[in-house]
Structure 1
Amino acid sequence: MKKTPTNFVKLTLLSLCLTLLAFSCKEKAEEKKEDATPDHFEAADAIIKSIIVPQFPDKTFNITDFGAVSDGTTNNSEAIKKAIDSCHNSGGGKVIIPSGKFLTGPIYIKSNVNLHLEEGAEVLFSTNTKEYLPVVHTSYEGQELMNYSPLIYAYKEKNIAVTGKGTFNGQASNDNWWAWCGKDVYGYTEGEPRQQDEHNLPRLWEMSDNNIPVSERVFGEGYQLRPQFMQPFECENILIQGVTFTNAPFWVVHPIKSNHVTVDGITVKSHGPNNDGCDPEYAKNVLIKNCVFDTGDDCIAIKSGRNNDGRQVNIPSENIVVENCDMKDGHGGVVMGSEISAGVRNVYVRNCKMDSPELDRAIRIKTNTLRGGFVENVYVKNVQVGQVKEAVLKINTYYGTYANQEGVYMPTIKNIHLENITVENGGKYGVLIKGRPESFVKNVTLTNVHIKGAKTDLSVENSEPITFENTTINGKTY
């Protein structure tokens, strides 16, 4: 007769099976954990969800109701100001600039105002420099000062927007703002005043180094420091959507010391000197998406102050997402620096296209030991590069367009990751890195990166070894 197993034996066998199953599941989980590649872009999605996009009351204020005339010659500064003031004072809404050509001086946007350009609207900014006085609290190349007003300006405002399908035309040219850069290609004549003269930039640098209060750094008339096109300064909840910017005096869209910034679907077509497309500086929680950049300088340049000013302010630019943008022309596609003294972290770039014989670099980091600063946690994914002139990735800690760029502030650069990048014509270098013997560039990875047509595969100095995975340069596997 067969013996039936006792309950004790049954329980023992069950316990043993469960234990073996648990060990097996744990091993598989650990194997899966080791094999899994973390999706850093989940953090980018979280940043996007956290950004506050301003909302506005359903009220409209048409500038023509305040006396604006669309003949391209009547100065509408006062009419636009009245419309914005009325909108702001009534609790907010939309200030409409209808189809037509409207000449104006600088525009000051106030809280809860959406300045909306209807299709066919063109705002022409005056070329008379005196229109941009009195001076306002602004900045120039990473240093704060009192200077000509930006063409579109907001200072310490909340919930502001510029939207629509119209065009802002700065009307800058070789005949007005551009010549001040000091280059004959932009209309400069030898012997005329320029920004490099002692009374201009060197004076500002000295004031910054000596911690002179911003209120005493007065420039403006008699000086040659050009204004930004659009500058939200110390603002929150900003939307810039749909509009076109052209013919800028200097940097185009420059949110500085601002939080919760959305730049969506704008077109920047401006080839003057220092015509960067979008320059977040000391900025946090920024989304730049669906934009077209065709610029005379960097398409997107993330900044955080220059030299002593940057270290005193000490606000890193962080949590910045760039997606679905088309970089048609410019010195760099997405750039960090050179004004970078307070540091940059957590930058995410995905699903972009970069293609131009004049595009110098796709991804660029630039600093030196006067500017110092740090760059960390940069993630670039799913980018198509047609051609670049110099390098797909350039990291340079010896950057300098002016003399005497050596100091005591050693920059640090780490965690730079490129994934799923295709390059048809890589220019002079596939990857170009110049770190410092005292501060190696750390943790650079290239995964599924395929570069064709580079004259030199790699030029790497003072960097930890690059980590390659399924990467080819000129057909060679790394």
Structure 2
Amino acid sequence: MPNTNPSRRTFVKTLAAGAGALALAPSLEACRTLGAGGASKTGWDLVPDILARIKPPTFPARMFDVTQYGAKGDGATDCTAAFRAAIDACNGAGGGRVMVPAGRFLTGPIHLKSNVDLHVTKDATVLFTTDTKAYLPQVLTRFESTELMGYSPFIYALDQQNIAVTGEGTLDGQAGEENWWRWKGGANRSGQSQVPARNRLVEMAERGVPVAQRVFGEGDYLRPNFIQPYRCRNVLIEGVTIVRSPMWEINPTLCTNVTVRGVKIASHGPNNDGCDPDSCRDVLIENCEFDTGDDCIAIKSGRNADGRRLHVPTEYVIVRGCRMKDGHGGVTIGSEISGHVRYVFAEKCTMDSPNLDRALRFKNNAMRGGILEHIYMRDVTVGQVADAVLSVDLYYEEGQNGPYEPVVRDVEMRNVTSRKSKYGLYMRAYPRSEIADVRILDCHFDGVEKGNVTDGVRGLALQNVTMNGRPITA
């Protein structure tokens, strides 16, 4: 098949029909910001323009206390209806803040509406019920970046704008081996496993079955994500602590103008990614702490046929000032990446844990395809990682067994230091794939056990790079 690059042509993509549906603007390749003298900006020079577009929503000074709508912070009373009533009242009044005061509030799914800030105060905990039936009826969502009608995410919004989850309180999913997490693997003693339904969903997507007919619920064991704004504009997630999630914690999908700031995530369940922007544009993730059971940040754009069908990349993502503890990767691109990703900037982060596998990680294969380009990392301090500082794995899962060519190009790592790792660089391409134009500048990797692996990489440049105190060249 031709290896065309969609980032080279202009398109406006309407994501869905209906009120509030989001239209993406043309790609940056088609409408690049012009600097002085008409010269196109590239690399880090683009960041100020991206930040100028990312503006957190603001809300009217109206307060709606959930206890005034029947909520009780005793950890036992079902507050689902009270949350719904407070959100409806806030939205109906033109917007404001739905406040959760001190206490422990048990609830089912919370569905946000436009102009509503769900504010969880410092001594408040929102407990999400483990009764799986509470997350029905099904909503339009994604499971591992494939669209379906499935369990509602714990905090969800569809086709809304100006929404937020803020405060210093805690969101507790109450997930554990006795409920949501047990669904991850193969057959277990209870007979509860996501594997058959997951395979069926992937097969339906490959056949092009309409999303409305991909209905999964009780007995299918497809875990919901924690926070998922879907086709929303102007989103803020700030300050809260998230624990015990069934699956991905923060998963904005098909959104524009997203800010995730000052969030603390401590959840070690299966597939417990920290923050996964999926087919999103203009995203800022800053000053967050990630201690996760999977990737800390994983940037995605749809899986396989579904990613190609919607054809919406994730682009213009800025990660800065974050702290990564445990996880599979600090900043990861993939693996559900068939809609492409471009212009990701990560800076001034710290990463350090024997249980953190990689600092910058790319995951792709010939079943996913996708072009991953213009990815930049600078001023990152790595104490130790278990595997590699930079990992590009195009053999991930299905490997080269597929018709689509994974492409990774224009990757720059500058002023990144590490004290301990198995590899410095670990990059593998196969003949039909592409890893090209990788630049490692002013980087110093110490405590490296096995050196570098750079199979099939074209255009690798190393400048002022040392490994275990000795200069290295490509």
Calculate the TM-score normalised by the size of structure 2: 0.90
| Counterpart residue identity of residue 46, structure 1 | D
CA distance in 2, matches of 1:472, 1:190: 51
CA distance in 1, matches of 2:243, 2:383: 24
Matched, 1:292 2:295: no
1:327-346, Cα deviation, whole Å (9 max, x unpaired)? 01100000000000011100
* Structure 2 contact 325–353 (Cα < 8 Å) conserved: yes
| Counterpart residue identity of residue 79, structure 1 | A
CA distance in 2, matches of 1:159, 1:71: 30
CA distance in 1, matches of 2:146, 2:43: 33
- 421, 424, 440: which one pairs with 1:430? 424
Correspondence list, 1:33-432, <5 A: 40-182=43-185, 189-190=188-189, 192-197=191-196, 200-400=197-397, 406-426=401-421, 428-432=422-426
| Counterpart residue identity of residue 148, structure 1 | Y
* Structure 2 contact 394–433 (Cα < 8 Å) conserved: no
CA distance in 2, matches of 1:191, 1:270: 23
Deviation at 1:363, TM superposition (A): 0.3
Deviation at 1:405, TM superposition (A): 6.5
Deviation at 1:201, TM superposition (A): 1.1
| Counterpart residue identity of residue 88, structure 2 | D
Matched, 1:464 2:458: yes
* Structure 2 contact 268–292 (Cα < 8 Å) conserved: yes
- Give the % identical residues: 47
| Counterpart residue identity of residue 260, structure 1 | N
Question: What stretches of structure 1 move > 6 A for 4+ residues in a row?
Answer: none
CA distance in 2, matches of 1:406, 1:437: 12
- Secondary structure, counterpart of 2:203 in structure 1: helix
* Structure 1 contact 299–331 (Cα < 8 Å) conserved: yes
CA distance in 2, matches of 1:311, 1:237: 25
* Structure 1 contact 147–220 (Cα < 8 Å) conserved: yes
Deviation at 1:191, TM superposition (A): 6.4
* Structure 2 contact 193–221 (Cα < 8 Å) conserved: yes
1:157-177, Cα deviation, whole Å (9 max, x unpaired)? 000000000000000111111
| Counterpart residue identity of residue 405, structure 2 | M
CA distance in 1, matches of 2:288, 2:49: 21
The structure with more helix, counted as a fraction of residues = 1
| Counterpart residue identity of residue 143, structure 1 | T
1:284-339, Cα deviation, whole Å (9 max, x unpaired)? 00000000000000000000111000000100100000000000110000000000
CA distance in 1, matches of 2:244, 2:401: 34
* Structure 1 contact 457–474 (Cα < 8 Å) conserved: no
* Structure 2 contact 256–281 (Cα < 8 Å) conserved: yes
| Counterpart residue identity of residue 50, structure 1 | R
- Secondary structure, counterpart of 1:464 in structure 2: strand
CA distance in 2, matches of 1:349, 1:476: 26
1:407-444, Cα deviation, whole Å (9 max, x unpaired)? 10001110000001110102x21100011212331110
**Can you give the 5+ residue segments of structure 2 that lack an aligned partner in the other structure?**
1-40
CA distance in 2, matches of 1:382, 1:392: 13
* Structure 1 contact 284–317 (Cα < 8 Å) conserved: yes
* Structure 1 contact 253–279 (Cα < 8 Å) conserved: yes
Partner of 2:25: none
CA distance in 2, matches of 1:235, 1:256: 8
- Secondary structure, counterpart of 1:441 in structure 2: strand
Calculate the TM-score normalised by the size of structure 1: 0.89
CA distance in 2, matches of 1:190, 1:464: 49
* Structure 2 contact 365–399 (Cα < 8 Å) conserved: no
* Structure 1 contact 278–301 (Cα < 8 Å) conserved: yes
Deviation at 1:41, TM superposition (A): 2.2
Deviation at 1:248, TM superposition (A): 0.2
Partner of 2:38: none
1:374-424, Cα deviation, whole Å (9 max, x unpaired)? 110011000000000010000011100xx6861100011100000011101
CA distance in 2, matches of 1:205, 1:442: 30
Which moved further from structure 2: 440-449 or 289-298? 440-449
CA distance in 2, matches of 1:441, 1:180: 36
1:432-477, Cα deviation, whole Å (9 max, x unpaired)? 0011212331110111100011112211111114211110011220
Deviation at 1:39, TM superposition (A): 7.8
Partner of 2:36: none
CA distance in 1, matches of 2:352, 2:328: 12
Cα distance change, pair 39–174 in 1 and its aligned pair in 2 (3 A): same
**Can you give the 5+ residue segments of structure 1 that lack an aligned partner in the other structure?**
1-37
| Counterpart residue identity of residue 315, structure 2 | E
